[in-house]
Amino acid sequence: MAVAYLPTSAPAERHSLVSRLLEDERWLALALFLPTVVILGLFIAYPFVEGVLLAVTDAKVGVPGHFVGLNNFAKLWNDSIFRTAVWNTFWYTGVTTVFKLALGLWLALLLNRHFKGKAITRAFVLLPFIIPTVLSTFAWKWMFDPTFSVINWTLYRLGLIHGRINWLSDPDLAMISVIIVNIWRGVPFYAISLLAGLQTINPELQEAAAIDGARPWQRFWHVTWPLLLPVTMVVVLFSVIQTFADFQLVYVLTGGGPANATHLFATYAYQVGIGAGLLSEGAAISLAMFPALLIVVVIQLLYIRRVETH
């Protein structure tokens, strides 16, 4: 009988050991935490560390390179295209965020009302966000085409312009075009997220304020907006991170041109690192956006925490 017990007793003991360990909260927390750590380590930390290591070498495509300290960053300091890319990135992120927030909030407030065909309207509003960016940006590229722009054609037919508008050939207009497309694409994300936030606000609060004589604007400013603020901050945080590191939209629409006028951090890093094969310099450009992004994230997270604790 003792022999018969042996094979089953070992797993049982192991089983009980695992159970005992998992009953301990510290071990359970570790077990639950481990998959996240592995995933973050593999897909976030490892590429990040590799990027840092690459940025302090003179590696080129196919050539491992040697340690050069901060040489690549010193080069960037004297690089006028990099300075343009830095300015563009901040400008692009700032302008688009303001417009996306304003338009998104406006749309969310409209969609929060009751009207016929509400469900289908909400679904349509999401379309720009659902369509793959590359695909929709190609459509915009055709609309801004130097020769065959449908926008120009329409404006011309309406008698609003007499010559051609060079949307993507003029540096300022090219930047405006890129900003327009980003806003078009980003507004649905704001609208739907803020709509979700609006729907969590108890309507009784609005009713109470109305009974107290608050006008619509006062109700929005003193009731809706404070309650919507935490959601808004999270939405803005995500959007700023995405916009700051945007690549595909600019790459497809202008390729960073004309004459590098619309480069962002990511597109310039791509041109230098992947196009010209200067991997270390490309990594340094990518890494240069990290401190700015970190500051934005920390400030916003601190703000969110403050709002929540109040």
Residues interacting with another protein, by CB under 8 A? 60-63, 75, 80, 145-148, 164, 166, 168-171, 174, 254-261, 270-279
| Min CB(46)–another protein separation in Å | 15
* Closer residue to another protein, CB minimum distance, 264 or 278: 278
| Min CB(292)–another protein separation in Å | 24
d(CA 113, CA 106): 12
87 in Cβ contact with 307 (< 8 Å): no
- Joined tokens for residue 101: 């927030």
* Closer residue to another protein, CB minimum distance, 94 or 255: 255
DSSP string covering 95-138:
HHHHHHHHHHHHHHHHHTS--TTHHHHHHHHTHHHHS-HHHHHH
* Closer residue to another protein, CB minimum distance, 274 or 298: 274
| Min CB(241)–another protein separation in Å | 24
262 in Cβ contact with 174 (< 8 Å): yes
d(CA 42, CA 103): 38
* Closer residue to another protein, CB minimum distance, 39 or 63: 63
CB-count exposure of residue 288 (10 Å: 0-12, 13-18, 19+): buried
175 in Cβ contact with 261 (< 8 Å): yes
List of residues 6+ apart from 149 with CB closer than 8 A: 142, 143, 164, 165, 167
* Closer residue to another protein, CB minimum distance, 89 or 254: 254
Lookup result for tokens 């192991």: 14
| Min CB(122)–another protein separation in Å | 36
* Closer residue to another protein, CB minimum distance, 41 or 146: 146
* Closer residue to another protein, CB minimum distance, 76 or 228: 76
| Cβ atoms within 10 Å of 238's Cβ, excluding its own | 14
d(CA 45, CA 37): 10
| Min CB(263)–another protein separation in Å | 10
| Min CB(90)–another protein separation in Å | 21
Q: What is the CA radius of gyration of the chain?
A: 26
**Helix crossing, 80-111 with 279-309: angle to 10°?**
40
| Min CB(161)–another protein separation in Å | 14
| Min CB(64)–another protein separation in Å | 10
* Closer residue to another protein, CB minimum distance, 179 or 195: 179
Q: Beta partners for 119?
A: none
One-letter amino acid at 154 equals: T
d(CA 245, CA 51): 15
